[in-house]
Structure 1
Amino acid sequence: MHLFFYCGLSLSLFVVVYCIVDRQITKRQLVAELQQVKEQLQQERLERERVEQALQQGASQFCKNSKEWEHLAPSGERSGLFGRTTNLQKRDAPLQQSEERCQLATLCSEVYEELCLRKQAEEALQQSQSTLRSFFDSASMMMGIVELVDDDILHISDNATTAKLFGLTPEAMQNRLASEMGVPPKYLRKWIAHYRKAERTRSPVKFEYFHDTAQGQRCLSATVCPIALSPSNRSRFAYVVEDISDRKLAEKVLQENQAQFQGILDNSPASIYLTDSQNRYLLINRRYENLFNVTKEEILGKNIYEIWPDEIAEKFATNNQKVLESGTSIEVEEVAPLEDGLHTYITVKFPLYDANGVPYAVCGISTDITERKQAEQRWRSLLENVHLAVVGLDQNGKLNYVNPYFLELVGYTKAEVIGQDWFETFFPLHQRKRLQNSYLELLEKDFYTHNQNVILTKSSEERVMAWNNTLLKDLQGNAIGTLSIGEDITERQVIERMKDEFISIVSHEIRTPLASIHGALNLLSSGLVDTHSEKGRRVMDIAAESAERLVRLVNDILELERLESGKISLSKQICNAADLMLKASEKVQIMANRAEITLSVSPQTIQLEADGDRIIQVLTNLLDNAIKFSSKGSTIWFTVEPQLGENNKKVEDLEDCSPSSVHPISPTIVFKVKDEGRGISDDQIDSIFDRFHQVDASDSRKKGGTGLGLAICRTIVQQHGGQIWVESTLGEGSTFYFMLPMLTVEEYDYDN
């Protein structure tokens, strides 16, 4: 006998054949693969028996020896080998021996291959069975194989997890009926129904159910599937059961939380939404749907540019990007269109983070503040345009709001006062401490809601203000500052002083003539004075003068009231300025002669349309005042001259000149009364034409008059479309002007 590898020699042949099979069985194919492997081994066994039988019949005389051994490959891998050594008997014919050897080698090769496959399959099966058994025994899920026996379930093999549920061991459960182990009939019927369904459909059936245990009710998820017929020809099934109680509980809690969260979202008065980093909508609440008339199906997954106009979408996107880049929340005002126009929203936007801490979405909570904004605009418009000073202070007394009227009053700009200390900036030093204490009491006790004080303007001018203070509080009721509305009562106080002086004047002016009249009448009526005597005539003259003075005072008061109320209408006619001047000068000539004052009149023939009697009244009043306040021996110049509108620069500069009464290109006529009296101080110039005004309260007693003459003059001139003003130098005299529109040649010809 010779052992050798086949290499073309013709004396003997040794053939070695081997095959390695490597198969891996997955969990899902657990039961089915096991059955397939068994069926394959059965087929291999039958095939092997057929091959071995043919081998024995066709080549028994050549087979003398066989052996199994392991082959160690260069890689270190071990393989099971089966081999036979055969001595080939020599025949006479070399050709016949060669053919027989080839046939035998081929046949042996096929036999060896089949045997090697069997060997590898058996090893793979053993390995798979070991793996599956390990998985089966240690699995946290309940697993097993059962058969259906009438209306019961026979347990063939169960793992430890299943046995634990029954309070048994796997060995104790083997080949026992479910009913014997205490399974209630309702569970048996349910399981059998699912097994039958799996048998009919030849596919796995999955279902969930609740199982009562000693530890309480558990929720189980089961899957059953048919695998094969048992040796007793009964249907056999595999089952896998997972305890999903914890998962179900978590799902229930999650569902409840989601329901609560959705309830909060849907009942929120604010619009709430989520957008991802690509500005696609991920979530909207019911308020959002109702407000913008969209549904979740219409908007989710769409980009904001698909929903909103580009300009609005661009602002949304910019704000979203700020949140994602900064990783912080922001509060912004945004606008969005509704059916009734653009609405304003105050929106809080904040980022949402993924598990890695990276912002992946932006949540927006928007509240419609359109009505509030409109109300704010109305209030702001009111505060900005009201002719009252409005000042806002914080709790430290710093200015945080001032309206334009206040700035105009004090002469500062907004930038100069915002943030400044109210008391140090606008109050005299001697008042600051008292006013600061009052402010603290206002914050703490809500005292001093009304007060009156003096403030300083930028030019250090004092203005008297009457304040109405409102305490501002936050949502918690804490004082955060004040809002004060003030009225400049400086002029009112001046007027009130003037009225007081006027009342004193009028009372004196009335009492004095009345006393004179009363005394004179008593003297005459008692017979103490003869009415025909010189003394009697003098008493009667005093009474007459006093009565005339009293009538003049009453007439002045009544006339000014009628003029200002519009109850007196002007009767305009074409007049000659010269005639008006002569008539006025004639009325005061006697008075000038008595005062030893020279009256220089320079009339000119200038046509104008006016109420002649009223213009004479103005001229007479101006001349009367000039005579009263001029010293003996002085001169009063009374002139008139025409002027073109472009030369009336002085008129246009007047504070009380209005655009409606000044026509730069229209010709005018200007009357002028100049005296050499005591003059008027600068601080009196602006108020000289006011009602009840007296340069000196004693003037009424010394000079006579009521302080209404110049107010009457101003009213008459203004009703003629003219203006009146004065220039004066203290100690040197005054010049009163008044301007009226002059009648042009065309107008004069037309009127004629």
Structure 2
Amino acid sequence: MKLSVLSKISIGFVALLTTASITGAILVQIPLRQNVASRWLQHTHEVLLELETVLANMADAETGQRGYLLTGDRRYLEPYDAAIAQIDAQLQQLKVSIADNPEQQRRYELLERQIEAKLGLMAKTIALRSNEGFEPAVQVIFSGQGKQQMDAIRALINEMEQEENRLLERRIRDYRAISQLTTQAFLILLFLSLALICVVYYLVNSDITSRKRAEIENLRLLQQVQTERGLLETVLRQMPAGVIIAEAPSGKLILGNQQVEQIWRHSFLVADNVEQYCEYKGFHQDGRPYNPQEWPLARSILSGEVVIEEEIDFLAGDGTRGTMLVSSAPIRNAAGNVTAGVVTFHDISDRQLAEKELRRREAEVRFLNEALPLGIFKLDSQGNCTYTNSRAQEICGFTVEEALETGWRRFIHPDDTRQLWSQWLPAVAAHQEFCGEVRYLHRDGTVRFGRVKVAPLFSRSEAIGYVGTIEDITEIRAIEKMKSEFISVVSHELRTPLASIRGAVGLLSAGLLLNEPETAQEMLEIASLDTERLIRLVNDILDLERLESNKLTLVKRWCDAAATMRQAVESLQPVAEENEITLSLSPLSMRIYIDPDRIIQILVNLLSNAIEFSPPGATVWLSAELGSGEWGVGSGDKGDGETGGVGGENTTTNYQLPITNYQSPTPELLFTVKDTGRGIPADKLETIFERFEQVDASDSRQRGGTGLGLAICRTIAQLHGGQIWAESVLGQGSTFYFTIPLVQE
């Protein structure tokens, strides 16, 4: 049976398509294999770079350590500290990178132990240099242990690099082999395609034998075109989009379906040329009207432009306005010339309204998410984070990018990780809600507490993800802790004198001391002293509460600073004499605007503490001086002012003002109370101004202290606009400062 030209062409096309499909399938697999090989090459380079980085950081750490050991200057520890901060993360990254290679994992375990030992030795030598001096630290270096550890580290890294270089050479060979296969497959496809094209061309050319046969075929094709035109018109009438076909180059509209009239809301307007397109009223997005040549159909006919989904505002026949989405393309003949153009358009006015409403609702949801005081986050079904609002980022201390996927897990406190997973995983497996408290390591260095609630999201009874909230309860927990501690301390402070009073009164009321008047008198004195202490404790608590809640009004007036200081010293003179303490006063006579009773309360409290903690025969100094508000290293001979102990002949001749960090922009008066007692530990210099904080609680109880005096002093000083602070050297005494800003009279 003789095959027709169309059949031969079809057979050739099928053969060409089959060959192309088979070769194309091969070519599709080759890039995939190339991509895999390329990723392995990149992975090997990354492992080599990580090994070099670990070695470089260890060398930096060793260089910084030795610089500090030689000089004692802590600036040399900057490369050491920087390297220490990075080594752990780099080792973890290296461990992940070599997870596919058991041999490299074995070397990594040895390397990790060697690095840990080396870092421990470096930390030990730094501590020796810092605490014991140069010689003990150098002895450790001369032992050679550090060099042996570093040599072992270099050897292990060298072995791992050799292994990676061997893998790199093998993977380069694989990559080159795949590239050669790609070239060969492409050449084969090209050769087969050319061969099949030649065969098809030969078969077609051989069957066209006469002009008559061609004319008959053309007539048949013309009839077929007319039939297809009818089919096209039928299809156009059924299409949901408006369609218009125009001739080229005139632009005459020759065909339009019914949807054109429905969208424009008027009958089809026939145009004989492009200039008559002005009958259709269209507008750009900025409001400018469309010129006839600017319509997409005109551009396709005149310049062959293809227009894809251009938004055009239009004025319909009924006077309403809307928006349409327009696409147009030229129709070309075999020679490539434009013979016609076709345009399609959809009315998207309703869709735009719906999208606008959707955007408005989305904006409302985003606003609510950002405005809520709760942190909000969303996880997919695998537990990967896909969204966090700004409040969640603020609570946990991460950015949006850092929280995505599994990044949020890095910010959970390590001590809470196991407990969190033990509660979270069963809830996830059962598609149940989860509620718990977890700690986060904030980027500012603080630990934040959060209350987390997570609920599953379902679609057709299948869990597709989770949405959760996190509430910052750090301050709530701190307040609860402070409340508990406050109640515990106050109850203890109240219970101690009450127990003493109860015991003394119990003995007296039972009549057991009727024949021992001296012992009975001692019991009465104990009860009296503890009663006074209890009254002072209650009064101090009430005073502090009124001061901090601004319920206590300061009664300020103009006073002489020297007179205020003398009054404070005179009130404590009997106590000083009883404890064999000399009070030395260096007053400064000037007018200040203060509440004198409260300032005297501060001075009396500070002087009382100095007397209590000074040995017999010691001196306690009270002085005042003017300042610009910037207190640094200062000294001065106070002999120019009024000196001398109250009620004695003691004098103050060369009083040193220590180094402080306090600065204020306004002139002020600085009061100083100095003693030569046992001093205050450095870690107590700040906390002694807190409630119930004492340097030696047992000794203070014996003297009747409540642990609230310095807290009251700080609050009074702050209400006057000043500050109070302390400096001390253990065994050499303490110095308390407080300032009063100066105002014009």
TM-score, normalising length from structure 2? 0.46
Q: More helix per residue: 1 or 2?
A: 2
Query: Looking at CA atoms only, which structure, 1 or 2, has the larger radius of gyration?
Result: 1
Q: More strand per residue: 1 or 2?
A: 1
